Structure 1
Amino acid sequence: MQALNQSVAVGPMGFSIGQLLIILAFGVALLTGALIGRRHRTPTADTLLNLLLIALVGARLVFVARYWSSYDGFLSLLDIRDGGFDPLGGLLAGLGYAAWRLWRSPRQRVPLGGALLAGLLAWGLTAGPLLLMEDRGRPLPDTPLTTLAGDPIDLPSLAEDQGQPLVVNLWATWCPPCRREMPVFEQAQDEASYITFAFVNQGEDVALVNRFLDEQSLELGNVLLDARTALGDVTGAMAMPTTLFYDAEGRLVDTHFGELSHATLRQGLERLR
């Protein structure tokens, strides 16, 4: 059975459904604030943009503080391509700023309060049903794959042989973030002996994959081929890279869309313990 799409590819960029819903909710908040603010002659757009920025900065700072040891320099702390954000930290930072603005600016209370309420309702009414429809505990798909040697294999049999949690990375050689995160996986595969890693190439042939591994001097185990990109369809992952985290019973416990850093991979692995 094909899963609900969990991500959307827009040209070379990929967005998770959760990210798109946040963008939608923020757009609703901006529109509502503009409409109510016009009636009260009080603009809210700048305040809402500041709120979003403060929430993002707060979420990033909390995440970095939690995984400080996984970053190797100041520039890596600023590289938000790894998706390292702490939702609770961002929520608290955003709510704190919103409360401060509502207290300091009485004229903005009605339009800003209406905008925030509309945004929260938009997010809740869209994200809630999707969470109910999408079973995060769904089992490993038995999509037919092949090894680099040409032998048939599937993920359930791999997981059964190893008897460990399984991390499945969907990637391609043409995908820049996929290429950047491969050394991160190589190191994790050497260090995390309690985890099995599988690298499922999407739509490319064995010669191209072997050439890429040789050129990059990568030593990865369980590099598999999905010539028809069927696994992406089954799991609902339409953008690459996508990394799926399954527990030892073969149940999906987490999904990461986009590039992984040492910190965000560590966060995903912690959820498998």
Structure 2
Amino acid sequence: MLSMNVGPFALSGNVLLLLAAGLVAAGVGHLVGRRQQTGIVNTLSDMLIAGVIVARIAFVALWFDTYRSSPWSMLDIRDGGFTPWAGMAAALLVAIWRGWRQPALRKPLLLGLTAGALVWGALFGALRTTERPALPKLALTTLAGAPTSLAALADGKPMVVNLWASWCPPCRREMPVLAATQQRETGVRFVFVNQGEDGATAQRYLSAGQLNLANVLLDPGAALGREVGSGALPTTLFYDANGRLVDNHLGELSAASLASKLEPLRTSASASGKD
């Protein structure tokens, strides 16, 4: 499962795991600390805030050259640009500082975080067993109506598969970034799979936006989204040169977040070329 719709919102699997782990940590911390009337919710909130801010700052610092042309986009965290290890380090430092300042907090915080980590690990493992890491074998069609498949287009190259629709605002916003990257990254195969629309609708949108895209495919029944476990658009899937799913992204991609996810694909392409 790559995403889940909760009312009008679509949440990625990683966010759902974090929410579940946080709720368990808060619950265990409350039970352990209730005799001393010591809760850990405020500390968990501060850990989350510090982790998100530091993870974002670290990511922007790493990809500053990409953000330089559009400085305000540094503040738009919808692109999913975060450096996890930096955020985890910041959150851990907050926990250590709070525990040092408040001795009564140490036991509930330690046990709460341990329980949250165990739940996160168990759910992560369970989700991984349900993933379908190989390229889907669904039958798709080109804009011209010819049958094809993702495997046929891959031809031994890493592949980026973008699920989109013309009515989807974030799809439209990210499309120029993907189009420019497709022109530049010739070692990676970019495929744009329209979800739920006919060829005429897709072609009208591409023509109106003057988007010169290769490998635009049609999936009128939106079967690919169901196959990969995502009902939200846009969803972008990243496959290595061996056809294994190595990453995914729910929502709009920026130039920086796309570049960060392409790095492992370039590595797989180089390794495949040496074999």
Matched residue, 1:197:
190
The CA distance in 2 between the partners of 1:182 and 1:198, in whole Å, is 12
- 1:151 equivalent in alignment to 2:146: yes
Which secondary structure does the structure 2 equivalent of 1:249 belong to? coil
Q: Give 1:38 deviation, angstroms.
A: 2.4
Counterpart among 14, 29, 33 of residue 18 in structure 1: 14
Which secondary structure does the structure 1 equivalent of 2:35 belong to? helix
Matched residues, number: 265
Aligned 8 A contact 1:25 1:122 in 2: yes
Which secondary structure does the structure 2 equivalent of 1:46 belong to? helix
Q: Give 1:129 deviation, angstroms.
A: 2.9
Aligned 8 A contact 1:37 1:111 in 2: yes
- 1:206 equivalent in alignment to 2:202: no
Calculate the TM-score normalised by the size of structure 2. Answer: 0.91
Matched residue, 1:100:
97
Which secondary structure does the structure 2 equivalent of 1:20 belong to? helix
The CA distance in 1 between the partners of 2:6 and 2:207, in whole Å, is 30
- Per-residue CA deviations over 1:203-249 (Å, capped at 9, x if unaligned) read 10111111111222211111110011111122222221111111222
Matched residue, 1:44:
40
Deviates further, 5-14 or 138-147: 5-14
Matched residue, 2:243:
250
- 1:124 equivalent in alignment to 2:121: yes
Aligned 8 A contact 1:201 1:225 in 2: yes
- 1:139 equivalent in alignment to 2:153: no
Identical aligned residues as a percent: 51
Which secondary structure does the structure 1 equivalent of 2:4 belong to? strand
Aligned 8 A contact 1:241 1:258 in 2: yes
Aligned 8 A contact 1:40 1:111 in 2: no
Aligned 8 A contact 1:167 1:243 in 2: yes
Aligned 8 A contact 2:140 2:147 in 1: yes
Q: Give 1:35 deviation, angstroms.
A: 2.8
- 1:7 partner amino acid: S
Which secondary structure does the structure 2 equivalent of 1:40 belong to? coil
Counterpart among 164, 173, 176 of residue 157 in structure 2: 164
- Per-residue CA deviations over 1:172-206 (Å, capped at 9, x if unaligned) read 11211111110110110111111111100001011
Whose relative contact order is higher, 1 or 2, with alpha carbons under 8 Å and at least 6 apart?
Answer: 1
Which secondary structure does the structure 1 equivalent of 2:163 belong to? strand
- 1:111 equivalent in alignment to 2:101: no
The CA distance in 2 between the partners of 1:52 and 1:202, in whole Å, is 35
Q: Give 1:107 deviation, angstroms.
A: 1.8
The CA distance in 1 between the partners of 2:41 and 2:134, in whole Å, is 44
Q: Give 1:54 deviation, angstroms.
A: 0.5
- 2:39 partner amino acid: P
Which secondary structure does the structure 2 equivalent of 1:39 belong to? coil
Which secondary structure does the structure 1 equivalent of 2:51 belong to? helix
The CA distance in 2 between the partners of 1:251 and 1:42, in whole Å, is 46
Calculate the TM-score normalised by the size of structure 1. Answer: 0.91
- Per-residue CA deviations over 1:46-73 (Å, capped at 9, x if unaligned) read 1111111111111111111111111133
Q: Give 1:11 deviation, angstroms.
A: 4.3
Q: Give 1:37 deviation, angstroms.
A: 2.9
Counterpart among 83, 87, 108 of residue 84 in structure 2: 87
The CA distance in 1 between the partners of 2:2 and 2:257, in whole Å, is 18
Q: Give 1:130 deviation, angstroms.
A: 2.5
The CA distance in 1 between the partners of 2:125 and 2:145, in whole Å, is 43
Aligned 8 A contact 2:131 2:228 in 1: no
The CA distance in 2 between the partners of 1:89 and 1:52, in whole Å, is 12
Q: Give 1:262 deviation, angstroms.
A: 0.5
The CA distance in 1 between the partners of 2:44 and 2:197, in whole Å, is 44
Matched residue, 1:219:
212
The CA distance in 1 between the partners of 2:41 and 2:33, in whole Å, is 9
